Amino acid sequence: MSDPSAPYQRLYINIDHVATIRQARRTDEPDPVAAATACEDAGADGITAHLREDRRHIQDDDVERLMSSTRTPFNLEIACTEEMLALVERLRPYQVTLVPEKRQEITTEGGLDLTHDPAALERAMARLRAAGVRSSLFIDPDVDAVARARDLGADAIELHTGSYAHHPDDTMQLTALAHAARFAKGLGLHVHAGHGLTVRNVGPVAAIPEIEELNIGHTIVSRAVFVGIAAAVVEMRAAMDHARSSLRT
Q: Which residues are catalytic?
A: 50, 77, 195
Which C-beta is closer to ligand PXP: that of 105 or that of 248? 105
Residue 141 sits at the vertex; the CA angle it makes with 98 and 224, to the nearest 5 degrees, is 65
Instruction: Give the shortest CB-195-to-ligand PXP separation in angstroms.
Output: 4
Beta strands in 84-212 (DSSP E): 95-98, 134-139, 156-160, 190-194
Q: Is-contact 67 74, C-beta < 8 A?
A: yes
Which listed residue (57, 195, 223, 244) binds ligand PXP by CB under 6 A?
A: 195
> Other CB atoms closer than 10 Å to residue 41's CB: what's the count?
12
Q: Report, in Å, the least distance between residue 16 CB and ligand PXP.
A: 6
Element (H, E) at 242: helix 229-245
- 95 near ligand PXP, rule: CB under 6 A: no
Residue 223 within binding range of ligand PXP, rule CB under 6 A: no
Q: Are 109 and 138 in contact (CB under 8 A)?
A: no
**Binder of ligand PXP out of 63, 194, 208, 244 (CB under 6 A):** 194
107 binds ligand PXP (CB under 6 A): yes
Q: Are 193 and 158 in contact (CB under 8 A)?
A: yes
* Residue 72, SS3 per DSSP: coil
Binding-site member from 18, 33, 44, 99 for ligand PXP (CB under 6 A): 99
Nearer to ligand PXP among residue 222 and residue 248 (C-beta): 222
Q: In whole angstroms, how close is the CB of 171 to ligand PXP at the nearest point?
A: 21
To the nearest 10°, the Cα dihedral for 76, 77, 79, 81? 0
* Least distance between ligand PXP and beta carbon 120 (Å): 18
Q: Which of 40, 140, 158, 210 binds ligand PXP (CB under 6 A)?
A: 158
Handedness of CA 177, 178, 181, 183 (dihedral sign): negative
- Decide whether 3 or 134 has the Cβ nearer to ligand PXP: 134
Residues 24-83 that bind ligand PXP (CB under 6 A): 50, 77
Beta strand pairing call for 10-14 and 46-50: parallel
- Size of residue set near ligand PXP by CB under 6 A: 19
Q: Residues in the site for ligand PXP, rule: CB under 6 A?
A: 14, 16, 50, 77, 97, 99, 107-108, 138, 158, 194-197, 215-219
